[in-house]
Amino acid sequence: MKTLHELTERIIAFRDARDWEQFHNPKDLAISLSLEASEVLEHFQWKSPEEIKEYLKTDKEHIGDELADVFNWVLIMCHDFGIDIAEASERKIKKNEEKYPIEKAKGKHTKYTKL
Amino acid sequence: MKTLHELTERIIAFRDARDWEQFHNPKDLAISLSLEASEVLEHFQWKSPEEIKEYLKTDKEHIGDELADVFNWVLIMCHDFGIDIAEASERKIKKNEEKYPIEKAKGKHTKYTKL
Amino acid sequence: MKTLHELTERIIAFRDARDWEQFHNPKDLAISLSLEASEVLEHFQWKSPEEIKEYLKTDKEHIGDELADVFNWVLIMCHDFGIDIAEASERKIKKNEEKYPIEKAKGKHTKYTKL
Amino acid sequence: MKTLHELTERIIAFRDARDWEQFHNPKDLAISLSLEASEVLEHFQWKSPEEIKEYLKTDKEHIGDELADVFNWVLIMCHDFGIDIAEASERKIKKNEEKYPIEKAKGKHTKYTKL
């Protein structure tokens, strides 16, 4: 299994071979991230829970492709912005632990601002 | 640096401690992914390239937090759907290499359907 | 009830009084539209059908505000791009009538590309 | 030019002829709104201001179609939720006039929370 570092190198090599860094300004990168997340969402639109359960079996690779698109944009953005995503991921979980203390948040889908 | 596997374990433990799996149906997970990607995008809205350059210095941790939110939702979804994201990431890059052959795509931001 | 033309004049006057046209380049307008649509979506995240039914009663004005944000951005964009939205709306319905003929599409949520 | 009321009747008739109300629960309607707003945004992705200027001439009908999709979903949602969009639009402009007083907001793209 490739590491985050190796995957980042892989995707940046893909970009550099196509001379695409010139288009990758932060605003358009963020647009791409948002558009790819929408493509993930589109797979679940209109489907009932049962249809989704079935769909996750029949179209797992397709959904994996879309999630990979989102994931790969995150890696590109973190590369360009000088962000260590593993570190950021952990730090954000810690922040969420403080925002959503177990005793207050357990079993509720309430936003922290309303807890 | 934590591995993808360790980060996934970390975020799932966070979820389980709060008994939140009950809310994590695929449709709402995909909505969350999309909403968090929008929050990343919001940081770049209205700003000129110069303002963004400056902002990436002054607000790097904040942007890292938002990217981590997107990243963490990808890990949760992949966990729940049984997707190996490192494998999916590589497979998708390979597919993109076929969709965007270097000789056709170099230096262009054209979608593969119009290349 | 104000007409589309009057509502457009109203929102453009609001903008001009603040000298904001300078920021309203098409890319950032489109980003705004997308972000406001996400804010609508956020209201429905995590909620069960029953919770949503209740929420639509208790928070109707709030949801109306968010839909108005999306609507107002559409009016601004159409104003700036020289698009008659009433005409575009009707034209698009006609196109959809062709893409989704009643005899094929009735009672199905299938995308036209798969009908 | 059709009124908002007439356009709403038109789109609801389109829906009813296809027996699609059964799929139009609020969460999926909000997903649709968000996905269509993303489709508008996709037209502006990667393009420079000059390319966009040109694109708005050559692809005006196409962009009009996408904006109409967003607009039509707003009308459907307002119909289903019992919201008068013309009223909501005006009310929201008034709220924004209070959030962004001219003397504070003129010529700035700062969010009201930071004004």
Least Cα separation, residue B113 to chain D (angstroms): 14
Q: Which residue has the tokens 């402009």?
A: D93
Chain B residues within an 8 Å CB radius of A1? 3-5, 84, 86-87
- Considering the entire predicted model, what is its pTM? 0.97
Chain C residues within an 8 Å CB radius of B45? 28, 31-32, 35
Report phi then psi at A86, rounded to 5.
Answer: -65, -45
Q: Which of A86, A61, A62, A60 is nearest to A74 (CA)?
A: A86
The minimal CB distance from D46 to the residues A23, A34, A45 is found for A23
The minimal CB distance from B35 to the residues C23, C32, C45 is found for C45
Predicted confidence at residue C70, as pLDDT, reads 98
Low-confidence ranges of chain B (pLDDT < 50): none
Query: Would you say D61 and C37 are in contact if contact means Cβ atoms under 8 Å apart?
Result: no
Question: Is some CB atom of chain D closer than 8 A to the CB atom of C115?
Answer: no
- Listed in sequence order, the residues at least 6 apart from B22 whose beta carbon sits closer than 8 Å to its beta carbon are A107
Predicted confidence at residue B87, as pLDDT, reads 98
Query: Is the pLDDT at C1 greater than 80, yes or no?
Result: no
Q: How many CB pairs under 8 A join B and C?
A: 27
Taking only residues 10 to 49 of chain C, the set having a beta carbon closer than 8 angstroms to any beta carbon of chain B reads 23, 28, 31-32, 34-35, 38, 41-42, 44-46
Tell me: the pLDDT tens digits for C69-94? 999 999 999 999 999 999 999 999 99
**Cβ atoms within 10 Å of D75's Cβ, excluding its own:** 22
Predicted confidence at residue B115, as pLDDT, reads 85
Query: Is the pLDDT at A1 greater than 90, yes or no?
Result: no
Tell me: the pLDDT tens digits for A65-80? 999 999 999 999 999 9
Chain D residues within an 8 Å CB radius of C96? 14
> How far is it between the farthest Cα atoms of chain D?
51
Q: How many angstroms separate the Cα of C69 from the Cα of each of B51, C76, D23, D68, D93?
A: 25, 11, 25, 15, 9
